[in-house]
Amino acid sequence: MTKFKGTKESLKNLKLVVVAYSYIEREDFPTKASYDAEIEVEDRAEEVVEEIKKLGVEVKAIPGNQYFLTNILVDKPDLIVNLVDTLRGEDMLQTSVPAALELSNIPYTGAQMEGMVIGNNRNLTKRLLMAYDIPTPYFQFIRRAGVGIDKNLGVPLIVKLNEGGGSVGIDNHAVKETVKDAEHKVDSLIGTYKMPVIVEKFIDGPEITVVVFDDGSKKHVFMGEKIFRKKTDGKHYFTSHESYDDENAYKYKKVDEPLNSKISVLSVRAFRGLLHRDYAKFDVRVEEASGTPFFTDSNPNTAFGPDMGLPMTEVMALNGISFQDTLISLLSKYAGQS
């Protein structure tokens, strides 16, 4: 049975912990779908606050807005649990939080600035995965509408925003069977979200959620294969934005050997190579024909909280790890620094 480093007793060194979360306003987001993907963050922060209170640690929540730095300089917390994943509706601005905390010399959980920059740029992420010899689907980075897709990519194809998580822009019809249809999707996404996109060869096969958690002495890897109730578009299995509203869209099952070990080795390499810290989630699709695990997405600072609807929490629970165990270990890593 997996046991993390860290004890509840060590948390006595923490006099005040602040849970930082995204400040969300509808006008900051180009679509309702992108707004809806973030709206639950305050509730999730409050859930984390309640879990920290159970450990006997003083804690409060602070939104990541224009007053964030002022508030933390006044409160002088021993540790920030950083749950901020967007500022003014832009994921790339979330690096402002670790920047402010580094400047203020206040410890914080999760990825540092470099890891955040990498994790919020699919083009950069995929190029680094390739450099570290980690399989990722063939892709094309497109900055502007009207650019043709390289036919050598083959079909089917899936089009994704270069920035952003939560399957924003990936609906039930995201997988395209022709280059022409994919090009229409490229133009639509660029026109709506005003950012580049990634066109990626869609890998048919099992979809696996991988979580890496670093307890300070070891990088532990947990994973679960998504067993979908039905084919998302009638032809392919994949996670769409709509699936987040359907609690029966899929269930997880454990991943057997030797695939588990193969993915674990690659996941730790990816975690290090992409400069993630503390915890991260990877999306992996296993090609049916070859059995090759392709890393399609990386999420540093993935959604963190006790809610079983969160992929990290659900996958770790599948593998016998409670959120309280994870939280104690995470806080313990920083308790000695206060």
Q: Give the integer Cα–Cα distance in Å for 45 and 62.
A: 9
Handedness of CA 165, 171, 175, 179 (dihedral sign): negative
Residue with tokens 């969300």: 24
Under the banding of pLDDT at 50, 70 and 90, the label for residue 165 is: low
Strand ranges inside the chain, DSSP E: 17-22, 59-64, 79-83, 139-142, 157-161, 175-176, 197-201, 207-214, 219-228, 250-253, 279-286, 293-300
- Give the H/E segment covering residue 313: helix 311-318
Does domain 119-136+203-318 match CATH 3.30.70.100? no
What is the pLDDT averaged over residues 222-239? Answer: 93
Please tell me what DSSP assigns to residue 223: E
Pairing of strands 175-176, 157-161: antiparallel
252, amino acid identity: Y
Q: Give the integer Cα–Cα distance in Å for 196 and 338.
A: 41
Taking every pair of C-alpha atoms in the chain, what is the biggest distance, in angstroms? 60
Among candidate residues 302, 290, 291, the one with its CA nearest the CA of residue 111? 302
CATH 3.30.1490 positions along the chain are 139-201
CATH 3.40.50.20 positions along the chain are 9-110
* Share above pLDDT 70 across residues of the chain, in percent, rounded to a whole number: 91
Q: Look over the chain and give the mean of its residue pLDDT values, rounded to a whole number.
A: 90
Angle between helices 122-131 and 259-273 (to 10 degrees): 110
What is the pLDDT averaged over residues 87-98? Answer: 71
CATH class, 9-110 region: alpha beta
Residue 241 pLDDT greater than 70, yes or no: yes
Among candidate residues 191, 203, 219, the one with its CA nearest the CA of residue 278? 219
Do 2 and 320 meet the contact criterion of CB atoms below 8 Å apart? Answer: yes
Under the banding of pLDDT at 50, 70 and 90, the label for residue 6 is: confident
Residue 338 pLDDT greater than 80, yes or no: no
CATH 3.30.470.20 positions along the chain are 119-136+203-318
* Res 93: pLDDT: 67
Please tell me whether residue 272 adopts helix, strand or coil conformation.
helix
Q: Give the integer Cα–Cα distance in Å for 168 and 198.
A: 13
Tell me which fold the domain 139-201 belongs to: Dna Ligase; domain 1 (3.30.1490)
Q: Which two tokens stand for residue 23?
A: 């400040």
Under the banding of pLDDT at 50, 70 and 90, the label for residue 121 is: very high
pLDDT per residue as tens digits for the range 289-316: 999 999 999 999 999 999 998 999 999 9
What is the pLDDT averaged over residues 80-106? Answer: 81
